[in-house]
Amino acid sequence: MNQQTIQNRETQVPKTPQMNDRDFLNDMLTTEKYMTSSYSTFLHEASHEQLYQDMLNIFTETQSCQRELYNLMFKKGWYKLEVANQQKLQQSYQQFQGYTSQFPYQNNVQ
Residue type at position 7 = Q
**pTM here?**
0.68
> pLDDT tens digits for 83-104?
878 888 888 888 888 777 777 7
Q: Are 80 and 7 in contact (CB under 8 A)?
A: yes
Residue type at position 81 = L
| Beta strands in the chain, from DSSP E residues, in sequence order | 5-6, 81-82
Q: Average per-residue pLDDT in the chain?
A: 87
